[in-house]
């Protein structure tokens, strides 16, 4: 997650604004006297659901929490960011001044990794020392084209070979340590980190080498190792092979996640170019952020053993939480039940599992689990190489997440026993309750009834009982948990539009350009405004704050469908479409706003009428009050 999104996630606009001005409830929203112009009736509104504000009075403007702070404190975006970061308890990594230094450092690290990749690759392909690794790859049936495509390499079994080579190339020892290629000795000096290993360059989605993975070719432990975390390498935020896979993922509209480097190589070699590997046992949120822009059809093919299953589930959970959620319909009885079930401790039920099924059901994504044949200890790469048809079938027969979960739970129980029957119901019913789609919900309810050989109505009764006991538990139990934060972090159309403009410089000269007011997210607006006056990305970069650069990189890394990549006309059409949609949004919003203003006027009228009425009726009372005030020596405030 970018710093900007993290700040948004941890900041509630109503809390921030309430620190400056008193807010009153106005239906689902809040209103106040505008802090930016002088007025008698509140026309300043805060919309908690959108995390935005708007003044319907003299200002006629609005925005998000950043723009509020910028306006109220009279600061620029960078300063607003500092302020809100401090408030949210987030430490910003570097002050804006050192940005250039940081960038240069990063560029240098990319260069070092690139040089090392070429060096190792060369050793693997052409030298006698590389024979060991070549032999291993031949044994694993990896073809020369694949070796070249993935730029595999070999690190010689030496303490100083890479060090000497790279230092001869002009890199300093300190830099090489920082890049993770050398390990610093305690008493001073350094030595090669990777020795006698098969090397796998790990690239980001843009194809820059961010780090290296390495496999031992003898019995050395650990079998696999990789670059340490650096300012450009974070194992948990990347997927191995993503740069080579991105086009195929888009084309096939499907992504398969495996566990190992070798699985990816074999898969690509056999025509499965949409395969990537998670470099660890479970998926992380950052990895999912990468996938999200490519496809929503995701299949997980991890180990079949218990640990693998666990990892799959954990991975799936992160997936479902991170993908965009569609707004779900109103809560049904079952969701209500599920909700109550998942508050607090739920014995015998993994709340995360319930959560993931729930998320999937309201996600615009299809998550499947590829189950590998058990007991044979076969990895995907062995299956793909030895039996491509079996692999094809496994992918096609991948089980939807909920079916997989059903099996995982039922398999551990003896559903002929009454006790296990109710246990299975206890564990699975809440999951079924999480499904939004009534048809699907009905399908799984029938399925469960069928497996357990009980009637559906008894399951429904059981659910209600579960709900009741849970409610009782709750009323006795601890304090209510706050609902999870779900604040709008980004705007997809804004981002799409901006990414198009940034990535295709020819669009700079297109006659119709979006207007800055189309961008409601301050970070998008900032980038757009600075982009308008920048001849190229390098200049734009130099104009932006460090924290916003992360967002810029994210936009630059967004990949477009082939039609857009290849055809200038399609690009222009896409841009025009975006602009129209942003325009539409703006006018839709202004319509909603008009309504609020109308209500405001009516309210005002009503208030005035009420005042007149009160004045008429209350002259006597007001006279009495006046007398009291005079007696107490306090002047009475003039009525409105």
Which is nearer to Zn ion, 74 or 347 (by Cβ)? 74
Q: CA 510, 516, 518 angle in degrees (round to 5)?
A: 95
3-state SS, one letter per residue, for 524-586: HHHHHHHHHCCCCHHHHHHHCCHHHHHHHHHHHHCCCCHHHHHCHHHHHHHHHHHHHHHHHHH
Which is nearer to Zn ion, 55 or 540 (by Cβ)? 55
Q: Which of 18, 59, 217, 415 binds Zn ion (CB under 5 A)?
A: 59
Q: How far is the CB of 44 from Zn ion (least distance, A)?
A: 6
Burial class for 400, CB neighbours closer than 10 Å (0-12, 13-18, 19+)? middle
Which is nearer to Zn ion, 55 or 133 (by Cβ)? 55
Question: Could you tell me which stretch among 48-56, 286-294, 364-372, 601-609 binds Zn ion (CB under 5 A)?
Answer: 48-56
Which of positions 458-497 make contact with Zn ion (CB under 5 A)?
none
Which is nearer to Zn ion, 33 or 413 (by Cβ)? 33
156 and 119 Cβ atoms separated by less than 8 Å:
no
Write b or e for each residue in 186-217: b if 16 or more Cβ atoms lie within 10 A of its Cβ, otherwise e. eeeebebbbbbbbbbbbbbbeebbbbbbbbeb
Q: Is 451 in the site for Zn ion (CB under 5 A)?
A: no
Question: Could you tell me which stretch among 29-37, 127-135, 289-297, 527-535 binds Zn ion (CB under 5 A)?
Answer: 29-37
Q: How far is the CB of 594 from Zn ion (least distance, A)?
A: 16
487 and 51 Cβ atoms separated by less than 8 Å:
yes
Question: Could you tell me which stretch among 53-61, 198-206, 308-316, 509-517 binds Zn ion (CB under 5 A)?
Answer: 53-61
Q: Is 37 in the site for Zn ion (CB under 5 A)?
A: yes
Which is nearer to Zn ion, 173 or 589 (by Cβ)? 589
Which is nearer to Zn ion, 34 or 123 (by Cβ)? 34
Q: Is 36 in the site for Zn ion (CB under 5 A)?
A: yes
Q: Is 57 in the site for Zn ion (CB under 5 A)?
A: yes
- Rounded Cα distance between 386 and 415, Å, is 37
Kindly report the number of other CB atoms within 10 A of residue 91's CB atom: 7
Q: How far is the CB of 21 from Zn ion (least distance, A)?
A: 11
41 and 52 Cβ atoms separated by less than 8 Å:
no
Q: Is 600 in the site for Zn ion (CB under 5 A)?
A: no
Q: Is 34 in the site for Zn ion (CB under 5 A)?
A: yes
How many positions of this chain bind Zn ion (CB under 5 A)? 6
Q: Which of 3, 7, 32, 55 binds Zn ion (CB under 5 A)?
A: 55
Query: 3-class SS at 209?
Result: strand
Q: How far is the CB of 118 from Zn ion (least distance, A)?
A: 59
Collect all residues with Cβ–Cβ distance below 8 Å to 389 and sequence separation of at least 6. none
Collect all residues with Cβ–Cβ distance below 8 Å to 85 and sequence separation of at least 6. 3, 7, 91, 92, 547
Question: Could you tell me which stretch among 34-42, 200-208, 366-374, 461-469 binds Zn ion (CB under 5 A)?
Answer: 34-42
- Rounded Cα distance between 452 and 183, Å, is 58
Question: Could you tell me which stretch among 54-62, 446-454, 468-476, 516-524 binds Zn ion (CB under 5 A)?
Answer: 54-62
DSSP H stretches of helix in 258-327: 261-269, 285-292, 306-322
**CA proximity to 178, closest of 116, 223, 244, 96:** 116
Q: How far is the CB of 14 from Zn ion (least distance, A)?
A: 17
Which is nearer to Zn ion, 53 or 194 (by Cβ)? 53
The separation between CA 276 and the C-alpha centre of its own chain, rounded to angstroms, equals 18
Which is nearer to Zn ion, 62 or 196 (by Cβ)? 62
211 and 219 Cβ atoms separated by less than 8 Å:
no
Q: Is 62 in the site for Zn ion (CB under 5 A)?
A: no
Q: How far is the CB of 338 from Zn ion (least distance, A)?
A: 43
Interface residues toward Zn ion, by CB under 5 A: 34, 36-37, 55, 57, 59
């Amino acid at each position: 997650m970018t710093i900007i999104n993290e700040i948004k996630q941890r900041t509630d606009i109503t809390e921030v604004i309430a620190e400056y001005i008193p807010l009153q409830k106005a239906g689902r929203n809040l209103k106040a006297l505008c802090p930016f112009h002088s007025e008698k009736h509140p026309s300043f509104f805060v919309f908690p659901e959108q995390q935005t504000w708007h003044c319907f009075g003299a200002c006629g403007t609005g925005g998000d929490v950043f723009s509020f702070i910028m306006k109220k404190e009279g600061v620029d975006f960078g300063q607003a960011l500092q302020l809100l970061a401090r408030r949210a308890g987030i430490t910003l990594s570097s002050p804006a001044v050192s940005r250039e230094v940081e960038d240069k450092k990063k560029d240098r690290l990319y260069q070092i990794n690139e040089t090392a990749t070429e060096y190792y690759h060369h050793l693997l392909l052409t030298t006698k020392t590389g024979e060991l690794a070549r032999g291993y790859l031949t044994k694993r049936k990896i073809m020369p084209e694949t070796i070249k495509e993935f730029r595999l390499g070999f690190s010689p079994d030496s303490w100083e070979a890479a060090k000497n080579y790279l230092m001869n190339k002009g890199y300093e020892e300190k830099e090489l340590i920082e890049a993770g290629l050398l390990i610093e000795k305690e008493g001073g000096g350094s030595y090669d980190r990777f020795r006698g290993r098969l090397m796998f360059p790990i690239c980001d989605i843009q194809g820059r080498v961010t780090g290296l993975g390495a496999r031992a070719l003898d019995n050395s432990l650990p079998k696999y190792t990789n670059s340490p975390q650096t300012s450009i390498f974070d194992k948990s935020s990347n997927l191995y092979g993503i740069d080579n896979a991105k086009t195929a993922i888009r084309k096939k509209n499907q992504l398969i996640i495996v566990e190992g480097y070798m699985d990816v190589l074999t898969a690509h070699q056999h025509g499965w170019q949409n395969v990537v590997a998670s470099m660890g046992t479970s998926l992380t949120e950052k990895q999912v952020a990468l996938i999200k822009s490519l496809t929503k059809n995701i299949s997980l093919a991890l180990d079949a053993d218990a640990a693998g299953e666990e990892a799959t589930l954990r991975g799936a959970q992160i997936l479902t939480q991170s993908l965009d959620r569609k707004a779900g319909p109103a809560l049904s009885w079952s969701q209500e039940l599920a909700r109550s079930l998942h508050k607090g401790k739920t014995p015998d039920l993994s709340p995360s599992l319930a959560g993931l099924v729930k998320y999937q059901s309201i996600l615009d994504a299809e998550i499947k689990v590829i189950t590998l044949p058990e007991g044979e200890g076969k990895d995907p790469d062995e299956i793909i190489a030895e039996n491509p048809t079996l692999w094809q079938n496994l992918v096609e027969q991948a089980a939807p997440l909920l079916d997989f979960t059903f099996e995982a739970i039922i398999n551990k129980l003896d559903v002929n026993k009454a006790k296990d029957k109710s246990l299975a119901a206890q564990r699975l019913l809440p999951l079924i309750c999480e499904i939004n789609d009534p048809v699907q919900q009905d399908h799984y309810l029938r399925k469960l009834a069928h497996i357990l050989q009980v009637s559906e109505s008894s399951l429904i009764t059981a659910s209600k009982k579960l709900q009741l006991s849970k409610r009782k538990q709750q009323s006795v139990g601890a304090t209510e948990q706050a609902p999870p934060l779900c604040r709008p972090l980004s705007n997809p159309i804004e981002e799409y539009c901006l990414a198009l403009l940034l990535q295709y410089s020819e669009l700079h000269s297109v006659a119709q350009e979006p207007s800055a007011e189309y961008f409601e997210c301050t970070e998008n607006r900032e980038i757009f405004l600075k982009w308008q006056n920048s001849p190229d990305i390098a200049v734009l970069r130099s104009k932006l704050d460090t924290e916003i650069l992360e967002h810029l990189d994210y936009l630059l890394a967004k990949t477009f469908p082939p039609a857009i990549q290849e055809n200038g006309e399609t690009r222009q059409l896409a841009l025009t479409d975006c602009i129209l949609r942003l325009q539409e949004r703006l006018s839709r919003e202004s319509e909603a706003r008009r309504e609020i203003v109308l209500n405001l006027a009516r309210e005002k009228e009503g208030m005035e009428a009420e005042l007149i009425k009160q004045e008429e009726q209350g002259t006597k009372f007001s006279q009495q009050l006046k007398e009291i005030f005079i007696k107490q020596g306090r002047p009475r405030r003039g009525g409105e």
